[in-house]
Structure 1
Amino acid sequence: MIELNHRKKLMAINLKDIYFAHSIIKEDPGYDVVYYFHCNEQGPDSTIFNTIFIDLKQSEEEILNQFNKTNRSLIKKLFKNNDFNIAITDCPTETEIEEFVEFYDMFAKKKGINRADKKLLYRLNDISSLSIGKAYHEGDLLSSMVFIKNKERVTGQYEGSGRFFFPENPHKVKMASKANRILEYMCMLHFKKEGLKIYDLGGVTLDPNDIEKANIDMRKKGFGGELVKEYHFMYPLTLKGKIFIYLKKFSEKLRRNSK
């Protein structure tokens, strides 16, 4: 479990983030609201988070053998040809975090998704719970991933691809797709060597009606593993916390209705 004690909001609310909890903590003196991420127990008004776990207690050969045929063949070929330079950093420097954020935010802008939460990355790094993986091809950064980890588990938080950055170079676009796969596998091996037990692929939508998301799900499912359901939610610990959550949800509802 990871705890981030960090924020005071309006109404002098004390908040905490908890990642990877097995169950809800009913009492925590000094805090009004806890944000749970990747919790095993379902909380009030939970958002379901479906994801895929890879068992890192397996041997390297067993991990590779559970991949689908396409991923196994591709990774073996990339190893043979030595096409990519892989760099995986635990407790990255400020420069490395800033470089990742710049890369990811460019990718996010192209995709029309939210930018990276830089403050979160720094706070995680302060407690040695952040790692960054990068895959280079001919000096160009084509894939980069950020992970949240504790002593047992590692979870993919952000994954950026360089495929949008070379519109006039189809070969680079194709290599960016390969970079994501080889980097994913090399990160599995890296965290296995660190003694971690679970590699979380960072979520699947299971939405067949969204073609782009379904394709991402298919890529992740190509690594094998076990489909797991977890929960994200806010949990009040005080009356003040209950009021804060009510007002927050009411505000979000108004914002959605105004669109």
Structure 2
Amino acid sequence: MLIVTKKFIFSVGEVWFDEDPPELSNVDVLHYRQWIHPIKGGQSDEFHTRLIDLTKSQDELWESISINDRYKIRRAEQKDQVVYEYFEHINSDIINEVSDFYDSFASQKGLSKINRNQLQNRVNAGAIDISRIKLQNGESLIWHVYYCSHNRVRLLHSASLKNSNDTSYQSILGRANRYHHWQDIVRFKNLGISVYDFGGWYTGNTDQEKLGINQFKEKFGGEIVKNFNCINGITIKGKLYLHLLKIYMSLSQLPLPRLSNFRF
């Protein structure tokens, strides 16, 4: 599947998971997202992630989760009375709601806002799955946004709003987050999807927050794999786009953004 986004005068496409791109006559720049091998002639960065094999039985998947986290999932379902919801049809209202929520989360965490134009293009291509956990009063606790191919789902965005002044709320949020991932895993397995991709794995050892995210993901089992994110100029205009990007970053005295800097 080829998804194209317009950036000024440039057409920027993306293809995922080693899917052969179709005719590229309308694309200036092409992003290859999470390919097994680097693309010859393009700029490539390593990207590590954690995958769960959804061809295993549901019992095997459940047993792969740590005992403590299984307890938290059961408690979220049975006592916290949180509600799991997913959307078969994603309209503009849902896109706006999840985007507004994510932007509040990003502000809280010091991250960039969601790219709404890119999200809309992916939705239009039928490549996006959205789910959430909410309280019984309808208040949203957590949103998940996935990129979906025919046999693999990849977590693109996960957002939740913390309330450090309410320890009870924080406890419910922590349990609900685990329950959310489990419900997504079961649903995708039942849809016949074979791989659940957590959307990144931090390979460093200094960022304590990212190390904590690693620990969360590790408790669901799975294995760490290395992929490559690549970018290539397809047309003369596309090569100009990459050249201008390098100049802009140089003038801004900033490092060229690594293609592997996907959000967890």
Identical pairs, percent: 24
1:162 counterpart letter in structure 2: L
Q: Which runs of 5+ in 1 are unaligned?
A: none
1:7 counterpart letter in structure 2: K
Equivalent pair of 1:35/1:232 in contact (CA under 8 Å): yes
TM-score by length of 2: 0.87
Correspondence for 2:260: none
2:193 to 174, 193, 196: 196
2:36 to 40, 46, 61: 40
**Residue 203 of structure 2 corresponds to residue 218 of structure 1:** no
Q: CA 1:29–1:247 in 2, change beyond 3 Å: closer, same or farther?
A: same
Q: CA 1:20–1:63 in 2, change beyond 3 Å: closer, same or farther?
A: same
Question: For residues 6-55 of structure 1, what are the alpha-carbon distances to aligned partners after superposition, in whole Å with 9 as ceiling and x for unaligned?
Answer: 32544xx43312122257x6983343321122222213332222111111
Equivalent pair of 2:4/2:14 in contact (CA under 8 Å): yes
Q: Structure 2 matches for 1:17-96, cutoff 5 A? A: 17-21=14-18, 28-43=24-39, 44-81=42-79, 83-96=81-94
Correspondence for 2:259: none
For residues 141 and 17 of structure 1, the distance between their equivalents in structure 2, rounded to whole angstroms, comes to 31
Q: CA 1:244–1:121 in 2, change beyond 3 Å: closer, same or farther?
A: closer
Q: Which runs of 5+ in 2 are unaligned?
A: 256-264
Q: CA 1:77–1:26 in 2, change beyond 3 Å: closer, same or farther?
A: closer
- State the number of aligned residues: 252
For residues 203 and 197 of structure 1, the distance between their equivalents in structure 2, rounded to whole angstroms, comes to 18
Q: CA 1:217–1:184 in 2, change beyond 3 Å: closer, same or farther?
A: same
1:110 counterpart letter in structure 2: Q
Let me know the Cα RMSD of the aligned residues.
Answer: 2.1
**Residue 131 of structure 2 corresponds to residue 133 of structure 1:** yes
Q: CA 1:108–1:69 in 2, change beyond 3 Å: closer, same or farther?
A: same
Correspondence for 1:114: 112
Tell which deviates more after alignment, 184-193 or 241-250.
241-250
For residues 49 and 202 of structure 1, the distance between their equivalents in structure 2, rounded to whole angstroms, comes to 10
Question: For residues 136-165 of structure 1, what are the alpha-carbon distances to aligned partners after superposition, in whole Å with 9 as ceiling and x for unaligned?
Answer: 2343321111111021111100000122xx
For residues 68 and 86 of structure 2, the distance between their equivalents in structure 1, rounded to whole angstroms, comes to 24
Task: List, as ranges, runs of 4+ consecutive aligned residues in structure 1 with deviation greater than 4 Å.
Answer: none
Correspondence for 1:153: 152
TM-score by length of 1: 0.89
Question: For residues 202-259 of structure 1, what are the alpha-carbon distances to aligned partners after superposition, in whole Å with 9 as ceiling and x for unaligned?
Answer: 112122200111101110111110111112221122333223212212212322349x
For residues 177 and 253 of structure 2, the distance between their equivalents in structure 1, rounded to whole angstroms, comes to 34
> Aligned with 1:90: secondary structure?
coil
